[in-house]
Amino acid sequence: MRSSILVQKFGGTSVGSIERIQSVARWALDSQARGERVVLVVSAMSGDTNRLVSLATQVDPIPQSSEYDLLIASGEQVSVGLVTLAINAEARKRGLALPQGRAARGLLGHQIGILTDSVYSKARIRAIDTSVLEREIERGVIPVIAGFQGVDDEGNITTLGRGGSDTSAVAVAAALRGRYEQVDCEIYTDVDGVYTTDPRLCPKARKVARISYEEMMELASLGAKVLQIRSVELAAKYGIPLHVRSSFDPVEGTWVVAKEQLGESMENVVVSGVAADAAQVKWTLQNVPDQPSVAARIFGALSEAAIVVDVIVQDISQQGQLTVSFTVGQADAAKTRQVLEGLKTADFRDLRIVERAGLAKVSVVGVGMQNHPGVATQMFKLLAQSDINIELITTSEIKISCLIDGNRTRDAVQALHSGFGLDRLEGVV
């Protein structure tokens, strides 16, 4: 097996302007000059994917075909082109010897066989063919890979869900794992690590030196978009430590690692993080017949449409009728409405659908809460003291989530962050 590889992923803000792209180019060449063999994975320039999504929904409010992915994947093509050109220009400026006539080569998902399933806009990677990458690496050329995109069996371009470039980077690292002795993965973003909560929502958020895959998965699934959840799942599965760090400041970031590598500093902490997921929509279905298989039919129809349903609450039956409530992200609202209206026509003629948008889910996370029964009560008290109403509650072993009015997200996050002692937490940096 051959030496080591460093996969460096640069997010939207990190390639958000020509200056930032030139800084990425210098950074990659500096890493190479230190003897690292680097592979880059880049996102679209910040704001580009949002713009493309908005263009698509203006022509089709519920875009469901592969052309939607073809369109929204194009932002990454732009940044791959620009980053590669910038690296080559910088290499020429530095007078580097370029045996292949170039220092970097841009590669789209299909060019390196990032094979996915065909669940458009939420595709999952099945395999990556590393042969082109290996050839370029061995030649001393830096591969610059488009994040977020892949290709399915039919040759259609697919995308991996919002924030999916993180997953591209970890999947590339995992694929190279079998071919090189050591593969490290750095995620460069606009914050210098993972914090106890979103620093944009809470100025007292503290940077965490290390966090376990499990806790990071919970935080990511509850709205901490600093890493896409699937990237953390893959990193855990293949045992790849992730170094989340800033592309604006070269300080040490946060290491996402296995529990065993955590050290003892955070052991006695009950709540280790607070997460918020804005733009949640709550659906209440009334007059649902109280019969076996009803839930399976409703949620089966939603999952067939690839809609991720979050909190589900079923009320006690009254006169043979149930009330079922659940939440979905705003991005899936139009599709959810369509599926539910379809059910009404097909199966449940008396169904009443009540939609409430503008909600947010706030959650507290911590492996320590398994042994501390009072955490939920404390959370409800803290929200009550801030006069924040709770619409729905869900719990698991290591998290408690409450659905609240989206306008109160910032207040709720700050109240929970202080109330659970995270403003002054020992063991974080």
Sole window of 7-15, 56-64, 172-180, 278-286 interacting with Mg ion (rule: CB under 5 A): 7-15
Distance CA 213, CA 237 (A): 10
Q: Which of 30, 190, 214, 423 binds ligand ADP (CB under 6 A)?
A: 190
Q: Which of 146, 191, 257, 328 binds ligand ADP (CB under 6 A)?
A: 191
Chosen from Mg ion, ligand ASP, ligand ADP, none, partner binding at 148 (C-beta under 5 to 8 Å by type): ligand ASP
Distance CA 75, CA 108 (A): 11
| Phi-psi map region of 188: left, alpha, beta (phi>0 left; psi -120 to 50 alpha) | beta
Nearest approach in angstroms of CB 210 to ligand ADP is: 13
Which one-letter amino acid corresponds to residue 231?
S
Nearest approach in angstroms of CB 305 to ligand ASP is: 20
* 13 binds ligand ADP per the rule CB under 6 A: yes
Q: Which of 163, 253, 406, 419 binds Mg ion (CB under 5 A)?
A: 163
Distance CA 264, CA 255 (A): 15
Nearest approach in angstroms of CB 225 to Mg ion is: 6
* 411 binds ligand ADP per the rule CB under 6 A: no
Nearest approach in angstroms of CB 101 to Mg ion is: 33
Sole window of 11-19, 67-75, 93-101, 125-133 interacting with ligand ADP (rule: CB under 6 A): 11-19
Quick one: tokens of 247?
């592309």
Residues 173/237, Cβ–Cβ less than 8 Å: no
Chosen from Mg ion, ligand ADP, ligand ASP, none, partner binding at 194 (C-beta under 5 to 8 Å by type): ligand ADP
- For tokens 């659906």, the residue is 283
Count of residues interacting with ligand ASP (CB under 6 A):
13
Chosen from ligand ASP, Mg ion, ligand ADP, none, partner binding at 280 (C-beta under 5 to 8 Å by type): none
Give the nearer residue to ligand ADP in terms of CB position, either 130 or 254.
254
Give the nearer residue to ligand ASP in terms of CB position, either 165 or 272.
165
Give the nearer residue to ligand ASP in terms of CB position, either 227 or 322.
227
Strand partners, 356: 282
Measured from each CB, the residue nearest to Mg ion is: 163
Nearest Cα to Cα of residue 52 among 72, 73, 70, 80:
72
Alpha helices in 196-279 (DSSP H): 213-221, 229-238
* 198 binds ligand ADP per the rule CB under 6 A: yes
Q: Which of 26, 124, 225, 297 binds ligand ADP (CB under 6 A)?
A: 225
CA distances from 374 to 368, 379, 388, 400 (A): 12, 9, 19, 11
Quick one: tokens of 288?
């649902």
Residues 236/292, Cβ–Cβ less than 8 Å: no
Nearest Cα to Cα of residue 180 among 4, 33, 379:
4
DSSP state of 369: G
Q: Which of 16, 63, 75, 106 binds ligand ASP (CB under 6 A)?
A: 75
Asked whether the CA dihedral 343, 345, 347, 348 is positive or negative, the reply is positive
Nearest approach in angstroms of CB 304 to ligand ASP is: 24
Could you tell me which residues come within 8 angstroms of residue 251 by beta carbon, excluding any fewer than 6 positions away?
A: 192, 245
Distance CA 14, CA 191 (A): 10
Ordered DSSP codes for 70-127: HHHTHHHHHHHHHHHHHHHHHHHHTT---TTS-SEEEE-GGGGTEEE-S-TTS--EEE
Q: Which of 32, 49, 325, 336 binds ligand ASP (CB under 6 A)?
A: 49
Q: Which of 2, 93, 200, 352 binds ligand ADP (CB under 6 A)?
A: 200
Q: Which of 16, 150, 163, 329 binds ligand ASP (CB under 6 A)?
A: 163
Positions touching ligand ADP (CB under 6 A) are 11-14, 43, 163, 189-191, 194-195, 197-200, 219, 224-226
Site for Mg ion, rule CB under 5 A = 11, 163
Residues engaged in binding ligand ASP (CB under 6 A): 11-12, 43-44, 49, 75, 147-148, 162-166
